[in-house]
A and B are shown apart, each in its own frame.
Chain A
Amino acid sequence: MSFGSGPVMFVMIGFDEGRDDVNAIGIHHPHAPEAGPAAGFEALAALGAAESESEAKAQGLLKEWLSSEQLVQYERNRWFEVVGSKTGKRYRIQERKQQNVYELDAEGRPTRGWCFMPKGSLATGDVMLGQKIALETDEKGAMKVALRFWSEMGLRRFVRWVAATWGRLRSPAARARYKQVK
């Protein structure tokens, strides 16, 4: 494999003091001007500012498209819930770019985690909005591409079942039935 003389993008962002052909944002170019530490920090600051701006715009857009209930949930908890268009299942979308969608049971407890997002390098708000729209308008399509990253463990499910059964046995109705039988 030859890199030839064209620009090559490196994964790492920063500057390499040992090389004068790698500029501040990692573009390799044989004719690139020498980049010192100051230029590196300036470029990183510019990247940070651009990212903050895109995050702020995406947050604004997300809030425009949330229902008032979802907006309250989001501002309070940094997550909101949506209802799937096909199954009526509830999902919680957390404020992250990936591994942030949880399927909930009837009591609102997470039972499975799903990972899917709009393709590309998008801001967090855009990712969350994409997930909300996908689940609310085309749950089946979203689930076709989604990958499961977490599910409630068998033991945990068993403990919950024991607790629920124990709770039912200790209820006044159950005690009354027991007394009748006795």
Chain B
Amino acid sequence: MSVQIIMDHSGESRFEFDPANEAAVAKATERFKELTGLGYTAAEKTGPGTSRKMTEFDPTATEMLFMPRLVGG
């Protein structure tokens, strides 16, 4: 199972999906586009403590994190 994690006021919201299920992947792709369209930054966990920024949906990514866009304080 793969997971999309969205940072929010409750800590996080998780959406799991089966990468072998076409419908689930389509929904995950749609969620990715919607969130990045809203300005969220997507990152894929690539190893312990390492990650990469995602600019487009990758169905092979097993753990994706979405965080709201950065602002200066």
A152 on the B face (CB < 8 A)? no
CB-based contact B11/A119 at 8 Å: no
What's the minimum C-beta distance from B58 to chain A, rounded to whole angstroms? 14
What's the minimum C-beta distance from B65 to chain A, rounded to whole angstroms? 7
CB-based contact A147/B73 at 8 Å: yes
**Those of B31-73 within 8 Å (CB) of chain A:** 39, 41, 43, 45, 48-53, 65, 67-73
The residue that B5 contacts in the complex, of A61, A125, A141, with Cβ under 8 A, is A61
Size class of the contact patch on chain A: 35 or more
| Bound Cα distance A136, B65 (Å) | 14
A78 on the B face (CB < 8 A)? no
CB-based contact A130/B51 at 8 Å: no
CB-based contact A98/B48 at 8 Å: no
**Those of A42-65 within 8 Å (CB) of chain B:** 50, 53-58, 61, 65
When C-beta atoms are compared, the residue in chain A nearest to B11 turns out to be A57
The residue that B11 contacts in the complex, of A53, A70, A146, with Cβ under 8 A, is A53
Size class of the contact patch on chain B: 20 to 34
A138 with B49, Cβ < 8 A, contacts A57-B11, A122-B8 known? no
Cβ–Cβ < 8 Å partners of A65 in chain B: 45, 49, 51, 65
> Scoring A residues 164 to 175 as 1 if CB is less than 8 Å from chain B, else 0, what string do you get?
000000000000
Cβ–Cβ < 8 Å partners of A99 in chain B: 73
CB-based contact A58/B43 at 8 Å: no
What's the minimum C-beta distance from A140 to chain B, rounded to whole angstroms? 11
CB-based contact B73/A119 at 8 Å: no
The residue that B10 contacts in the complex, of A53, A133, A142, A149, with Cβ under 8 A, is A53
B7 on the A face (CB < 8 A)? yes
What's the minimum C-beta distance from B56 to chain A, rounded to whole angstroms? 15
What's the minimum C-beta distance from B45 to chain A, rounded to whole angstroms? 6
The residue that B49 contacts in the complex, of A57, A66, A137, A141, with Cβ under 8 A, is A66
What would 5 A/B residue contacts be, using CB atoms closer than 8 Å? A57-B10, A61-B65, A116-B72, A118-B41, A137-B53
New A-B pairs, 8, CB < 8 Å, besides A58-B11, A65-B45, A67-B50: A58-B12, A116-B72, A119-B70, A129-B67, A137-B51, A138-B41, A146-B72, A147-B73
